[in-house]
């Protein structure tokens, strides 16, 4: 049987929906019910009627879906698909930062562990980080774990003091873009759009800074694009805008995002694996922070 047919039959049997991040392999994007950025996928997870959510992405994304829908079965097809950026931060570091900056609210990037989110006042994604921080009445705000995203927020909101926690947190895929990449892109021509996980120096000389969903929204503005984010984004953009040109950096690969294959997806649906399980207490505390973000974004 062809794999698309197998997946459709298993989806029906399990009453499942397949969510896939924009960085997933093309064959996964092709069979997913929804492809999107972290914010879009969180909203899809919250709103789906399906009994089971299969999350093709990395662990913090599937955990977010579980926190928002604790009564549903949430599956991550590859058990160890994780995000090294999320793993920069733990509860102890957050508590230390709170001690050093009493009264400053904690805004955590969605790329963080469920245990860390339990200590957040509000969560944000790259699509709404500035809006979330702007909405807070406090002049000082703790932001983690991505220092580059924190620098982006600081640049947009100079009236506030943003405290990055930890100061060295970064995504190895995005931190890898250099000024040389910008020079090459300028020689090639086209617009440069970078993810806010890129270094501040790269953000400053790019034309647009956007989440992966923001890149989809911006695409109609030009014919040729240099995309400074994970390579998988080019497939997503090319599927939506086949007549446009998208240049990406071939080495910009998130290894964990690329772990999920069609075989893993089939096994996940067949064996109901790997189920996300979190403690009730962590989920209840983290849910407040995630729902607050979704409310601010509406």
For residue 84, state whether it binds ligand SF4 (rule: CB under 6 A): yes
Name which position in 111, 113, 128, 206 contacts ligand SF4 (CB under 6 A).
111
For residue 257, state whether it binds ligand SF4 (rule: CB under 6 A): yes
197 or 264: CB nearest ligand 13P: 197
176 or 241: CB nearest ligand SF4: 176
One character per residue 184-203, x = contact with ligand 13P (rule: CB under 6 A):
-----------x-x------
Name which position in 24, 29, 116, 212 contacts ligand 13P (CB under 6 A).
212
Site for ligand SF4 in 165-204 (CB under 6 A): 171, 173, 197
For residue 254, state whether it binds ligand SF4 (rule: CB under 6 A): yes
SS (H, E, C) the chain: CCHHHHHHHHHHHHCEEEEEECCCCHHHHHHCCEEECHHHHHHHHHHCCCCEEEEECCHHHHHHHHHHCCCCEEECCCCCCCCCCHHHCCHHHHHHHHHHCCCCCEEEECCCCHHHHCCCCEEECCCCHHHHHHCCCCCEEEEECCHHHHHHHHHHCCCCEEEECCCCCCCCCCCCCCHHHHHHHHHHCCEEEECCCCCHHHHHHCCEECCHHHHHHHHHHCCEEEEECCCCHHHHHHHHCCCCEEEECCCCCCCCCCCCCHHHHHHHHHHCCCECCCCHHHHHHHHHHHHHHHHHHC
Site for ligand 13P in 127-186 (CB under 6 A): 171
Site for ligand 13P in 14-53 (CB under 6 A): 22, 37-38
160 or 229: CB nearest ligand SF4: 229
17 or 173: CB nearest ligand SF4: 173
For residue 111, state whether it binds ligand 13P (rule: CB under 6 A): yes
Rounded to a whole number of angstroms, the minimum distance from the CB of residue 258 to ligand 13P is 13
Rounded to a whole number of angstroms, the minimum distance from the CB of residue 53 to ligand 13P is 17
């Amino acid at each position: 049987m062809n794999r698309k047919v197998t997946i459709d039959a298993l989806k029906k049997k399990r009453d499942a929906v397949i969510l896939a991040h924009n960085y997933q392999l093309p064959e996964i994007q092709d069979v997913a019910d929804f492809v999107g950025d972290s914010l879009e996928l969180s909203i899809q997870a919250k709103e789906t009627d399906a009994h089971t959510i299969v999350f093709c992405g990395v662990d913090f994304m599937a955990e977010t879906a579980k926190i928002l829908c604790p009564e549903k079965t949430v599956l991550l097809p590859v058990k160890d698909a994780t995000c090294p950026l999320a793993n920069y931060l733990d509860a102890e570091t957050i508590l230390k930062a709170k001690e050093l900056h009493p009264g400053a609210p904690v805004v955590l990037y969605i790329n963080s562990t469920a245990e860390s989110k339990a200590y957040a006042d509000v969560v944000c994604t790259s699509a709404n980080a500035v809006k979330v921080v702007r909405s807070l009445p406090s002049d000082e705000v703790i932001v983690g774990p991505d220092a580059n995203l924190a620098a982006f927020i600081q640049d947009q909101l100079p009236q506030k003091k943003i405290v990055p926690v930890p100061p060295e947190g970064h995504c190895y895929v995005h931190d890898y873009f250099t000024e040389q990449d910008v020079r090459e892109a300028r020689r090639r021509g086209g617009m440069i759009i970078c993810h806010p996980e890129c270094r501040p120096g790269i953000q400053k000389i790019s034309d647009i800074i956007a989440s992966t969903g923001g890149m989809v929204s911006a695409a109609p503005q030009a014919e040729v694009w240099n995309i400074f984010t994970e390579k998988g984004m080019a497939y997503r953009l090319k599927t939506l805008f086949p007549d446009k040109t998208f240049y990406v950096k071939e080495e910009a690969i998130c290894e964990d995002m690329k772990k999920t294959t069609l075989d893993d997806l089939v096994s996940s649906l067949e064996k109901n694996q790997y189920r996300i399980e979190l403690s009730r207490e962590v989920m209840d505390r983290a849910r407040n922070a995630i729902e607050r973000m979704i409310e601010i974004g509406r």
